């Protein structure tokens, strides 16, 4: 089997969330990558939480000519080639997103060629994975947030994640000080805890939007509400800050969804910076690099879970590997996937059952993708 064509389709996908009869609209950018072969089989990968048109250009203009004619089954050879092509001095950034999408396309192709789902090729540890629902977005006010939390629990989800920090450091040119924002976050978390009762697990995610001081303030003030982990509490996952924060709060810390280099995870693990490492298959170099990171987590007896959404890709990693665990059922990202793919599994009672169909087990809807590709691109505005 030989690669005959490599192409990317950047998309800015419209999504809407309704609560209390009101509808909030937003968008998310993703980039799909297709790898076609001389056998007629095509693999499709994906990345997100980045500038979709940059990834489109990397794949179409830089990568494609380097992969034509190569054997797509040799994922280690191709991953290494992509690493040295796009990341020769360890600069990561957009490159790891592009490599992730290409690597997922190769694994989808491998599964189709071998007649096996990716999760089984990755090791087949289990055919079901527990999920947590990411439901609590900044565009909800406090009452809407509490109501949304209750509705997810009523749908069978016992694990819920909400955002905090609301891009705090990005808004320092606004007059609202960060301590006001933290005070409101404390009230929002309290409202959710009171709405769902003591049995539901609540996770919080600051998306790298706080400095150390405010992350510590928030952690200490919400400890009484029973937080199961605090994800990306500080800007750029600063390792010394994480180590210090972890020593001052009983809330477990999680990070890693946007890291491109495996060595960043090694550094977090060696420093004891986090309780949970979260490589994302769609961002952290695909299944190939994420399984190396999961191996390091195992050696350090540190939890490994999914952050950064895209459950339908990450479920294969967490189903495949023995130390796989929670998968993030991010409600906005799931809506995006439903626009683009057919045959996605639905969680039942907070559990996703992995597909038996070969490869990733779901299918791009080409007609709908062609329509969505006509929409204007996000120009940096379509990030989760
Ligand atoms: Mg996150």
Shared domain check, 280 and 194 = yes
pLDDT given at position 6: 98
Helix (H, G, I), strand (E, B) or coil at 30: strand
**pLDDT mean over 288-307:** 98
Shared domain check, 320 and 174 = yes
Domain count, the chain: 2
**381 assigned to some structural domain:** no
Shared domain check, 145 and 92 = no
Percent of the chain with pLDDT over 70: 99
Classify the C-alpha dihedral 345-17-97-309 as positive or negative.
Answer: negative
pLDDT given at position 99: 98
CATH of residue 8: 3.30.390.10
**pLDDT mean over 21-46:** 94
CATH of residue 330: 3.20.20.120
pLDDT given at position 384: 61
What beta strand segments (E) does the chain contain?
Answer: 3-19, 22-37, 42-48, 128-136, 159-163, 201-205, 227-231, 253-255, 276-277, 303-304, 327-330, 341-342, 351-353, 363-364
pLDDT given at position 269: 98
Ligand 1 center from residue 207 Cα (angstroms): 6
Shared domain check, 342 and 215 = yes
Alpha-carbon gap, residue 373 to 352, rounded angstroms: 29
Average pLDDT over the chain reads 95
Examine the pLDDT at 26 and tell me if it is beyond 90. no
Segment 346-360, tens digit of pLDDT: 999 999 999 999 999
Beta bridge partners of 16: 25
Ligand 1 center from residue 2 Cα (angstroms): 37
- Spatial neighbors of 270 by CB under 8 A, at least 6 apart, are none
227 close to 251: Cβ distance less than 8 angstroms: yes
Helix (H, G, I), strand (E, B) or coil at 352: strand
Shared domain check, 129 and 94 = no
Ligand 1 center from residue 330 Cα (angstroms): 9
Q: Which domain holds residue 141?
A: 119-364
Range with the poorest average pLDDT among 19-23, 193-197, 327-331: 19-23
Ligand 1 center from residue 114 Cα (angstroms): 33
Shared domain check, 202 and 165 = yes
Angle at 76 between CA 41 and CA 36, to 5 degrees: 20
pLDDT given at position 374: 94
Ligand 1 center from residue 67 Cα (angstroms): 32
Examine the pLDDT at 155 and tell me if it is beyond 80. yes
**328 assigned to some structural domain:** yes
Segment 49-77, tens digit of pLDDT: 999 999 999 999 999 999 999 999 999 99
Examine the pLDDT at 123 and tell me if it is beyond 80. yes
pLDDT given at position 383: 67
**377 assigned to some structural domain:** no
CB-based burial label for 322 (10 Å; 0-12, 13-18, 19+): exposed
Alpha-carbon gap, residue 348 to 224, rounded angstroms: 30
Structure tokens, 94? 């957009």
Ligand 1 center from residue 167 Cα (angstroms): 12
308 close to 283: Cβ distance less than 8 angstroms: yes
Ligand 1 center from residue 328 Cα (angstroms): 9
- Beta carbons within 10 angstroms of residue 197's beta carbon: 9
Segment 180-233, tens digit of pLDDT: 999 999 999 999 999 999 999 999 999 999 999 999 999 999 999 999 999 999
Helix (H) / strand (E) containing 383: none
Ligand 1 center from residue 286 Cα (angstroms): 17
């Amino acid at each position: 089997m030989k690669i005959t064509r490599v192409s990317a389709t950047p998309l800015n996908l419209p999504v809407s969330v309704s609560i209390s009869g009101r509808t909030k609209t937003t968008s998310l950018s993703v980039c799909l990558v297709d790898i076609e072969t001389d056998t007629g089989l095509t693999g499709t990968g994906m990345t997100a939480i980045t500038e979709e048109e940059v990834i489109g250009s990397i794949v179409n203009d830089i990568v494609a000519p380097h992969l034509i004619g190569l054997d797509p089954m040799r994922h280690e050879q191709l991953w290494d080639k992509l690493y040295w092509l796009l990341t020769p001095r360890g600069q990561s950034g957009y490159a790891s997103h592009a490599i992730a999408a290409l690597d997922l396309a190769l694994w989808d192709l491998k599964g189709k060629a071998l007649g096996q789902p990716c999760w089984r090729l990755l090791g087949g540890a289990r055919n079901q994975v527990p999920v947590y629902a990411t439901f609590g977005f900044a565009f909800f006010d406090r009452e809407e947030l509490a109501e949304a939390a209750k509705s997810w629990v009523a749908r069978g989800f016992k694990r819920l994640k909400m955002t905090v920090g609301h891009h705090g450091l990005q808004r320092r040119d606004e007059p609202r000080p960060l301590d006001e924002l933290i005070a409101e976050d404390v009230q929002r978390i309290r409202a959710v805890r009171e709405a769902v009762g003591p049995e539901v697990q609540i996770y919080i995610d600051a998306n790298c939007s706080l400095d150390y001081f405010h992350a510590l303030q928030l952690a200490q003030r919400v400890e009484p509400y029973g937080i199961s982990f605090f994800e990306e509490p500080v800007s750029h996952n600063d390792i010394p800050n994480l180590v210090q924060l972890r020593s001052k709060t009983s809330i477990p810390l999680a990070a890693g969804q946007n890291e491109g280099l495996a060595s960043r995870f090694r550094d977090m693990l060696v420093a004891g910076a986090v309780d949970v490492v979260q490589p994302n298959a769609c961002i952290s170099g695909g299944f190939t690099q994420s399984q190396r990171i999961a191996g390091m987590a195992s050696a350090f007896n540190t939890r490994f879970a999914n952050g950064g959404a895209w459950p339908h890709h990450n479920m294969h990693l967490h189903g495949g590997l023995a130390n796989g665990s929670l998968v993030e059922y991010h409600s906005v990202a799931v809506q995006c996937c439903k626009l683009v793919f057919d045959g996605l599994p639905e969680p039942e009672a907070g559990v996703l059952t992995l597909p038996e169909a070969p490869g990733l087990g779901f299918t791009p809807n080409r007609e709908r993708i062609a329509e969505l590709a006509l929409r204007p691109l996000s120009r940096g505005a379509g990030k989760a």
